Amino acid sequence: MRYPTNCKYTMLVTSLPAHKNNLFDEKQIPLSRIQLNKRLALLDEKDATDLLKIEQLLHWSHIKKDINQIFVNETIKSINSINNDFIKNIIIWRLELRIILAALRMRHQGQKTPPDKKIFGFDYWYFMMTKYWHEPDLGLAKQLPWLPKVNELLVANKSLQLEKFLFHVIWDHYRQLSLGHYFNFEAVIIYVLRWDIINRLASYNKEKAIRHFNDLIDAQLEDKVIW
């Protein structure tokens, strides 16, 4: 039986366990990737293709700390191949976030001036970075109120806390974007991207637990205890 798209997407969204407003209230992954994929089978072919593109760009497992001109050019090329403005804006926001983080890391590593404009691509951000390169917030705290905290954690070399804080920043951004989108393709996009954050956080907690377990084993072998 064939359903109208709006009906199918209502069925899809209502079949998904709801996310919580606060990321850290999520105690476990709401459903497995296999279960999620079964529900996503309701997507129209074009929407499924667009979702695949955004997942390939934004899923945490595909993201690297460093960026370069090739990466920026390929990302912009992918953006231009998508006709959905909602998706484009999400990708651009995440790209800009990565560019700013990359700039902070470069400066933290001792780079005295911003890199070549071709790497960053966006005129506004490059102008601000050039003018305020030696300011802790790159002159962007008013537009990006979370930026001072990011820089603070970066300077303190608290990489795990930084990653978890970025989880929160991105989660909250997606929550705000979800307002007004409840039973359409945009709601599905937000759900899948938020699912990825929960999945990554669960993996992080699992890795942490394994490291702690190994530390306990090593401590026992050395006849000492670590808490």
CA distance 148 to 132: 13
pTM for this structure? 0.80
CA distance 150 to 104: 9
CA distance 26 to 197: 10
Task: Select from 160, 142, 159 the least CA-distant residue to 205.
Answer: 160
CA distance 216 to 186: 45
Domain membership of residue 215 (yes or no) is no
Domain membership of residue 225 (yes or no) is no
Domain membership of residue 177 (yes or no) is yes
pLDDT at 141: 92
Q: How far is CA 205 from CA 19, 20, 79, 193, 208, in A?
A: 19, 18, 32, 19, 5
Residuewise pLDDT in 10s, the chain (227 residues): 455 567 889 999 999 998 888 888 887 888 999 999 999 999 999 999 989 888 888 865 555 556 677 777 777 788 888 888 888 889 889 888 888 888 899 899 888 887 776 666 666 777 888 889 999 999 999 999 999 999 999 999 998 889 889 989 999 999 999 988 889 999 999 999 999 989 888 876 655 555 544 444 444 444 433 33
Domain membership of residue 27 (yes or no) is no
Split into its structural domains, the chain has a count of 1
Domain membership of residue 11 (yes or no) is no
Domain membership of residue 158 (yes or no) is yes
Domain membership of residue 211 (yes or no) is no
pLDDT at 212: 47
Share of the chain above pLDDT 90, in %: 32
For residue 162, the enclosing domain spans 44-191
Domain membership of residue 98 (yes or no) is yes
